Chains A and B, each alone.
Chain A
Amino acid sequence: MSLLEIRNLSVEFQTVSGSFRAVDGVDLDIKETDLLSIVGESGSGKSVSMLALMGLLPWTANVTADKMEFAGLDLRTISNRARRKIIGKDISMIFQEPMSSLNPCFTVGFQIGESLKQHLGLGGAARKKRSIELLDLVGIPAPAERLKAFPHQLSGGMSQRVMIAMAIACNPKLLIADEPSTALDVTIQAQIIDLLVDLQNEKGMALVLITHDMGVVAETAKQVIVMYAGQQVEQQEVDSLFAKPRHPYTHALLNALPERSLHLDRLPTIEGVVPGAGDRPPGCLFAPRCEFVQDDCSQNIPGLQATELGAFRCFHPIDYTGQG
């Protein structure tokens, strides 16, 4: 049974110029120890779909889904009070900007202890003991002293470690990491990703890693979802995705990796920009930028087609049968 099952999740924002669909028909299945990576450009709906799951979107967002179940609970109809019992405990999330995600007015110890008190009802001494364990677990030296530190006394990497400690405080079943390494130095990025993967193995939790770094995907994930303009365009296992991407967008993204274009003078790019709220093409959303585009692409909207290894949303997927 899946830990998290989502069918046809859509999120629309009401704006002055009409409604804008940020997430469009996303399907998701996550089992208990899965490591799923969601990749896509900025504004492709990666974060918004996960924030919808957490119930953290502003009230201007309209979330609809045919199914959105976590551990048997229907997240579409759940009350706010009941949701608060789950988020931060069974599902937790860490964010892109560790420096601004911690409250500058409170100590690290207070902020970690708060989750422990809220969900586990631990008393003062137990909270302190557990907080020290957690900081130790995420690799922060001298954890007992660090509890008294304020966020401005920590580096970006340290702050993200504290965020991770807070997120895993109540042993969540699902951890969502929303671009956890994007705002950090390159050397620290790898450490944070390694830490998340180690913790996932150790704790046996499911991990959703949102990123736009293909390198991170290649090294860590098992399953990959590629998103474009709010839609899921491809889903595959990581090895086959990198070897044989079916969707032209995935293909173009992988071609743009610097390590794949060492023999070229210029890095390949994808011409054009992601369609905005006002200029969504009528058919396939990627059609205006696609190098394999055909006439029917801009007339009909392609559905998500399941394959042996995953799924893709394209009328003319890249065919590898001829190559063997």
Chain B
Amino acid sequence: MFAFILNRIALLVPIFFGVTLVSFGFIRMLPGDPVVALAGERDMTPERHAEMMAKLGLDKPAWQQYLDYVWNLLHGDFGTSVLTNRPILDEFMELFPATIELGVTAMMLAVVIGVPIGIFAAVKRGTFYDQGIMGLSLVGYSMPIFWWGLLLIILFSGIWGLTPISGRISFLYDVPTVTGFLLIDTLLSGEEGAFASAMHHMILPTIVLGTIPLAIIARQTRSAMLEVLSEDYVRTARAKGLSPLRVYGLHALRNAMITVITVIGLQVGTLMAGAILTETIFSWPGIGKWIIFSVFSRDYYAVQGGLVLIAMIIMAVNLIVDVLYGLINPRILHTSS
């Protein structure tokens, strides 16, 4: 097991360098001058421009900039934001809990509903239930996030007045930051109504962010289950006289989980991309919104650092998925180590 994990970690090293190269390159391909974006065009003399470029380290050749960047990364230095003059890592860590909080609740929604309805659709294959679930999930999968978010806001917040329009918590509450996770901090503060308010603010963003992963997880669970249900060992389980719950929920699902967990792992990436839109729609102070802002202001170091940090999180999730494979189906563990 230990060798298996080490092996998987070693595989992440080249991916890490690939990510640094891409994040370094892409932001530099964008049109627009970082100095102009920062200081504005007024009173910009060539001398002043060159001075600022030198200050930002952008006057060096690209390869040297890249080497400096990777060297600093390896020493845990993600650079400094040009705009705020604060370390990228600090900014990221400050905003990250809000994104994680939303991401985790959205993923929980997607898994808790998606997996059971996927199993149900597979078991009831070809029936009205199956077609209904698959039809709905196709709709969910096809809906653009920004449109779906606005639609829900208009309906629930605008017309019915049931949910808040934006933000993480009502301005009536002032909760001290301990963990950065508002659901936890409100509980810790003991302030009455704060937790409920934070929950209330999470409902719509969670639904909006969770819809696409939910639809994908339901569809993939169904197809993974269909494949497994025709396997000989499922017939063996039925021939033992086991209950349908045990045949489907244990014997079949355990095998289908390999696919389902892969999909869940991949959805973490989709979730990060979705977070950018969702956070923008709901003014959610997370890293999605921060990255968009950094791109617009050509804050090279913030975008580079933010992308690498997000990529590292996704790589970590994939590592966990790999380890789970081995735990679910021991054959994978035995053949790879």
Contacts and interface: CB of A to CB of B under 8 A. Distances in A.
Interface of A: 54, 56, 83-89, 92-93, 95, 97, 100-106, 114-115, 118-119, 150, 152-153, 163, 166
A152 B332 CA distance: 10
A84 B331 contact: no
A85 B241 contact: yes
A193 B75 CA distance: 67
Interface string B217-245: 00000000000000111011111111100
A50 B239 CA distance: 12
A8 to B, nearest CB: 25
Contacts of B238: 56
B236 A101 contact: yes
Contacts, number: 70
B237 A54 contact: no
B147 to A, nearest CB: 39
B254 interface: yes
Interface residues of B, number: 20
Nearest to B257: A105
Interface string B25-64: 0000000000000000000000000000000000000000
B240 A115 contact: yes
- Nearest 10 CB-CB pairings of A with B: A88-B241, A88-B240, A103-B233, A84-B241, A100-B232, A105-B254, A101-B232, A152-B331, A87-B241, A101-B236
A239 B236 CA distance: 34
A103 B251 contact: yes
B328 interface: yes
Contact of A118 (B233, B242, B329, B331): B242
Given A88-B241, A104-B255, A97 B236 contact: no
Contacts of B329: 104-105
B250 to A, nearest CB: 9
B235 A56 contact: yes
Contacts of A153: 334
Nearest to A167: B239
B239 A56 contact: yes
Contacts of A89: 241
Nearest to A105: B254
B330 interface: yes
A314 B329 CA distance: 53
A119 B232 contact: no
B328 A95 contact: no
B241 to A, nearest CB: 3
Q: Which has the most chain B C-beta neighbours within 10 Å: A83, A104, A163?
A: A104
Contacts of B331: 104, 150, 152
A118 B241 CA distance: 8
Nearest to A112: B240
Contacts of B235: 56, 95, 101
A93 B235 CA distance: 10
Contacts of A104: 233, 255, 329-331
Given A104-B255, A106-B254, A119-B241, 10 more contacts: A83-B241, A84-B241, A86-B241, A95-B232, A97-B232, A103-B255, A115-B240, A118-B242, A152-B330, A152-B334
Contacts of B243: 84
Nearest to B237: A103
A87 B238 CA distance: 9
Contacts of A97: 232
Contacts of A102: 233, 236
Interface in B243-283: 243, 251, 254-255
A84 B235 CA distance: 13
Contact of B239 (A88, A105, A152): A88
Given A88-B240, A88-B241, A95-B232, A103 B334 contact: no
B246 to A, nearest CB: 8
Nearest to A102: B233
B245 to A, nearest CB: 11
B242 A88 contact: yes
A280 B123 CA distance: 34
Contacts of A101: 232-233, 235-236
A92 B235 CA distance: 12
Contacts of B330: 104-105, 150, 152
Contact of B242 (A114, A150, A152): A114
A199 B331 CA distance: 32
A166 B254 contact: no
Nearest to A85: B241
Contacts of A100: 231-233
Contacts of A92: 239-240
B131 to A, nearest CB: 16
A324 B202 CA distance: 93
A87 B232 CA distance: 16
A54 B239 contact: yes
Contacts of A93: 239
A115 B241 CA distance: 8
B244 to A, nearest CB: 8
A95 B254 contact: no
Nearest to B241: A88
Contacts of B231: 100
A101 B241 CA distance: 15
Contacts of B255: 103-105
Contacts of B239: 54, 56, 87-88, 92-93
A88 B243 CA distance: 12
Contacts of B251: 103, 106
